[in-house]
């Protein structure tokens, strides 16, 4: 069997997605997600100009060798553009292998460790009341875990809230230049414990709660927040601080028992090696797309398991349904699976482009048994939705200093 052709599609059914299709000389094909939010076309160029010519004629069944060839063989290892491009190809190769074997990908990974995948949803709001009303709606839908984000009084357009357009920023696709938002650490720190205080008063402790700091605190500030939130028993605090310096997490860890999660911007195990070995985190959020595919994710999961770190893959809607399906297969298999972020199956438009094998059932995702990843990509539908340049927002402090968004 040989790789005959590799196609790269960019479609915007609500937001931009980069989809890879690896086609073999025997008619079997595989699909992968190579979407990098706000930098989509860089990945397309990397694939078309630098990867695809090297793949033609190779045996698609040699997944490990192809992965090593694209990673080590490029000399320029790592980085989000490179790893998203490799991730798209790698997923497509696992899809092909599953189709050849007539087995779902989780069977190729080692089989099921569980029957379904526990998820957490998102409750956002402009006020505590609105956020908690949305929490109540998710509990009614069966969610066992929910992430709470709320606008900070005195700041406009805070991360995780609805902004002026009143819809979730992830689903917007018309920001041809990056919008700017303001941040104040002190306003945030003085407000956020009250959100969780009221959540626990109103809904008790049966529902698991999560909060995403989106990397806006220094380690000692994050340590303080972790301490303030301890009474509310979070499942985890996400991206409490950037971990470009992995040692910084020791500061947070030394001060608080609030569990910590990080990793949605990680690209390789090297971004997390010290965090894992030092047991400085509890959940690793690296995504299959941005971490170079299923091949490295399996290794990272096994490595993390040795240090009591559980997998909680990024599940934002800027990952395509192909990545969400890849995560479902990994999550069903991984002995150290923790929880999956999940904010719904998207719009009719999105579902006209991708069909997937996932369904939501009372707080869990179920995965239908289909060979490979189980996703279909409808090329004619996809072609209706042209790429639109769109950026994530940028954050500044109130004095104008550029900050982490």
| Environment class of 187 (CB within 10 Å of its CB; exposed 0-12, middle 13-18, buried 19+) | middle
159, 169, 188, 385: the catalytic one is: 159
Count of residues that bind ligand EZ4 according to CB under 6 A: 10
Give dist(CA 400, CA 277) in Å, integer: 38
**In terms of CB distance, is 40 or 341 closer to ligand EZ4?**
341
Give dist(CA 157, CA 140) in Å, integer: 27
Contact region with ligand EZ4 (CB under 6 A), list: 24-32, 149-157, 313-321, 344-352: 313-321
**Which of ligand EZ4, Co ion, none has residue 37 at its interface (CB below 5 to 8 Å by kind)?**
ligand EZ4
Active site residue 75: no
Is 35:28 a contact under the CB 8 Å cutoff? no
Q: What are the E-state strand segments in 158-282?
A: 180-183, 208-212, 236-238, 260-262
Query: Could you say whether residue 212 binds ligand EZ4 (CB under 6 A)?
Result: yes
Residue pointed to by tokens 């995965």: 367
**In terms of CB distance, is 60 or 157 closer to ligand EZ4?**
157
| Residue, CB closest to Co ion | 212
Helix, strand or coil for residue 93?
A: helix
**Which of Co ion, ligand EZ4, none has residue 221 at its interface (CB below 5 to 8 Å by kind)?**
none
Task: Return the closest-CA partner of residue 83 out of 49, 38, 51.
Answer: 51
Minimum distance between the CB of residue 36 and ligand EZ4, rounded to whole angstroms? 8
Figure out which of the listed residues 318, 327, 350, 356 binds ligand EZ4, where binding follows CB under 6 A: 318
| Residue, CB closest to ligand EZ4 | 316
DSSP-assigned letter for residue 155: -
Query: Could you say whether residue 95 binds Co ion (CB under 5 A)?
Result: no
Residue 80 sits at φ, ψ, to 5 deg, of -65, -35
**In terms of CB distance, is 212 or 318 closer to Co ion?**
212
Query: Could you say whether residue 392 binds ligand EZ4 (CB under 6 A)?
Result: yes
Minimum distance between the CB of residue 212 and ligand EZ4, rounded to whole angstroms? 5
Task: Return the closest-CA partner of residue 60 out of 26, 111, 107.
Answer: 26
| Phi-psi map region of 56: left, alpha, beta (phi>0 left; psi -120 to 50 alpha) | beta
Query: Could you say whether residue 341 binds Co ion (CB under 5 A)?
Result: no
122, 211, 214, 356: the catalytic one is: 214
Minimum distance between the CB of residue 365 and ligand EZ4, rounded to whole angstroms? 16
Query: Could you say whether residue 170 binds ligand EZ4 (CB under 6 A)?
Result: yes
Contact region with ligand EZ4 (CB under 6 A), list: 96-104, 135-143, 314-322, 349-357: 314-322
284, β-bridge pairs: 262, 311
**Which of ligand EZ4, Co ion, none has residue 162 at its interface (CB below 5 to 8 Å by kind)?**
none
Minimum distance between the CB of residue 314 and ligand EZ4, rounded to whole angstroms? 6
Minimum distance between the CB of residue 306 and ligand EZ4, rounded to whole angstroms? 25
Active site residue 159: yes
The gap between the terminal CA atoms of the chain, to the nearest Å, is: 45
Q: Strand 180-183 to strand 236-238: parallel, antiparallel, or no bridges (unpaired)?
A: unpaired
In this structure, the dihedral spanned by the alpha carbons of residues 327, 140, 170 and 78, taken in order and rounded to 10 degrees, is: -20
**Which of ligand EZ4, Co ion, none has residue 316 at its interface (CB below 5 to 8 Å by kind)?**
ligand EZ4
Figure out which of the listed residues 103, 155, 316, 394 binds ligand EZ4, where binding follows CB under 6 A: 316
**In terms of CB distance, is 212 or 221 closer to Co ion?**
212
Helix, strand or coil for residue 382?
A: helix
Helices assigned H by DSSP within 142-235: 185-203, 219-229
Minimum distance between the CB of residue 111 and ligand EZ4, rounded to whole angstroms? 29
Using alpha carbons, list the distances in angstroms from residue 202 to 123, 131, 316: 14, 12, 27
Rounded to the nearest angstrom, the gap between the alpha carbon of residue 97 and the centroid of all alpha carbons in its chain is: 24
Figure out which of the listed residues 264, 321, 333, 337 binds ligand EZ4, where binding follows CB under 6 A: 264
Give dist(CA 118, CA 341) in Å, integer: 9
Figure out which of the listed residues 40, 95, 212, 318 binds Co ion, where binding follows CB under 5 A: 212
Binding site for ligand EZ4 (CB under 6 A): 37, 170, 212, 214, 264, 314, 316, 318, 341, 392
The residues annotated as belonging to the active site are: 159, 214
Under the rule (CB under 5 A), what is the footprint of Co ion?
212, 264
């Amino acid at each position: 069997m040989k790789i005959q052709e590799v196609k790269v599609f960019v479609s915007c059914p609500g937001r931009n997605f980069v989809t890879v299709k690896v086609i073999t000389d025997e008619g079997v094909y595989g699909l992968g997600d190579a979407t990098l939010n706000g930098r989509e076309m860089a990945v397309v160029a990397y694939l078309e100009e630098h990867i695809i010519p090297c793949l033609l004629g190779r045996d698609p069944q040699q997944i490990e060798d192809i992965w090593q060839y694209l990673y080590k063989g490029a000399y320029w290892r790592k980085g989000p553009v490179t790893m998203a491009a490799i991730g798209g190809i790698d997923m497509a190769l696992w899809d092909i292998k599953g189709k050849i074997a007539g087995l779902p990908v989780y069977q190729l990974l080692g089989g099921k460790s569980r029957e379904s995948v526990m998820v957490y949803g998102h409750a956002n709001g402009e006020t505590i009341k609105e956020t908690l009303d949305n929490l109540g709606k998710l509990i009614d839908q069966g969610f066992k875990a929910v992430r709470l984000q709320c606008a900070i009084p005195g700041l406009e357009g805070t991360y995780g809230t609805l902004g002026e357009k009143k819809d979730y920023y992830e689903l917007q696709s018309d920001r041809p230049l990056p919008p700017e938002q303001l941040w104040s650490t002190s306003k945030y720190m003085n407000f956020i414990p009250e959100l969780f205080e009221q959540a626990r008063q109103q809904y008790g402790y049966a529902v698991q709660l999560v909060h995403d700091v989106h990397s806006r605190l220094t380690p000692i500030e994050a340590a303080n927040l972790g301490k303030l939130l301890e009474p509310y028993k979070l499942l985890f605090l996400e991206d409490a601080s950037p971990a470009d310096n992995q040692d910084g997490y020791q500061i947070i860890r030394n001060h608080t028992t609030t569990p910590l999660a990080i990793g949605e911007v990680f690209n390789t195990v090297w971004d997390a090696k010290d965090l894992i070995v030092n047991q400085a985190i509890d959940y690793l959020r690296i995504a299959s797309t941005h971490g170079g595919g299923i091949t490295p994710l399996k290794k990272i999961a096994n490595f993390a398991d040795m240090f009591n770190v559980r997998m909680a893959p990024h599940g934002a809607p800027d990952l395509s349904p192909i990545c969400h399906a890849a995560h479902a297969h990994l999550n069903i298999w991984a002995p150290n699976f923790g929880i999956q972020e999940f904010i719904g199956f998207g719009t009719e438009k999105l579902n006209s482009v991708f069909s997937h094998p996932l369904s939501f059932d009372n707080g869990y995702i179920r995965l239908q048994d289909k060979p490979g990843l189980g996703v279909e990509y409808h090329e004619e539908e996809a072609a209706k939705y042209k790429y639109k340049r769109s950026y994530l927002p940028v954050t500044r402090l109130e004095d104008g200093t550029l900050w982490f968004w």
